[in-house]
Amino acid sequence: MQAEHFARAPRSARRTTLLYARPGIVVTTERFTVGRNTFAVADLTHLRTGRGPHDRSAVRAVVVTAVMIGGAGVLLGFTGGLARLTAGAYLVLGAVSLLPVLLVLAGDRWRPPAYELWGSCGGVEVLLFSADDERQLDQVTEALRRARELTRYDDADDPAGTATYWRPAR
């Protein structure tokens, strides 16, 4: 047999397999496309998932509430009002001091942080994908990991018989 029968097909001649497709999201063995952003699967490394930041308005509400409660406590302390409070008033102050914690819990319940997929592309860490649905993030992540496996193992089918080695001229 001739050596060209064993030669590996160029990457452009290989068949691209579709692994995941939803509106705005396409994962193939060659490309990962989200919206207008397209990444070559072979260039993506260090994939990791995580949660995004908390909602800005929820964080502001918590900070404003905590500052106002702290300010009221300091004001009562400097004016001597804490010494004149009854036991019921102290219970109310204790309950009001839990308001920022309740706001944090409510904010995370109503506007939870997004699920994110991060990776390195060309040595730069990039947000690849973000979703509100954890199941969709898991599907995209699994398709991308599968695409990386197929891309990585595609290079392993080069038969050793066609390899040429460099030797110095003597």
SS (H, E, C) the chain: CCHHHCCCCCHHHCCCCEEEEECCEEEECCEEEECCEEEEHHHEEEEEEEECCCCHHHHHHHHHHHHHHHHHHHHHHHHCCCCCCCHHHHHHHHHHHCHHHHHHHHHHHHCCCCEEEEEEECCEEEEEEEECCHHHHHHHHHHHHHHHHHHHHHHHHCCHHHCCCCCCCC
Instruction: Name which of 34-48, 79-93, 152-166 the model is least confident about.
Output: 152-166
pLDDT higher at 7 or 77: 77
Give me the pLDDT at residue 39, please: 92
- pLDDT tens, residue by residue, 86-133: 778 778 877 877 777 787 777 777 778 889 999 998 889 999 999 988
Residue 23 has pLDDT above 50, yes or no: yes
Give me the pLDDT at residue 14, please: 60
Give me the pLDDT at residue 11, please: 54
Give me the pLDDT at residue 123, please: 86
Residue 22 has pLDDT above 60, yes or no: yes
For residue 161, the one-letter residue type is G
Q: What would you report as the CA-atom Rg of the chain, rounded to the nearest whole angstrom?
A: 29
- What's the rounded mean pLDDT across residues 150-163? 56
**Overall pTM > 0.75:** no
- What's the rounded mean pLDDT across residues 130-142? 91
Give me the pLDDT at residue 34, please: 92
Q: Is the dihedral of CA 37, 24, 133, 19 positive or negative?
A: negative
Residue 4 has pLDDT above 50, yes or no: no
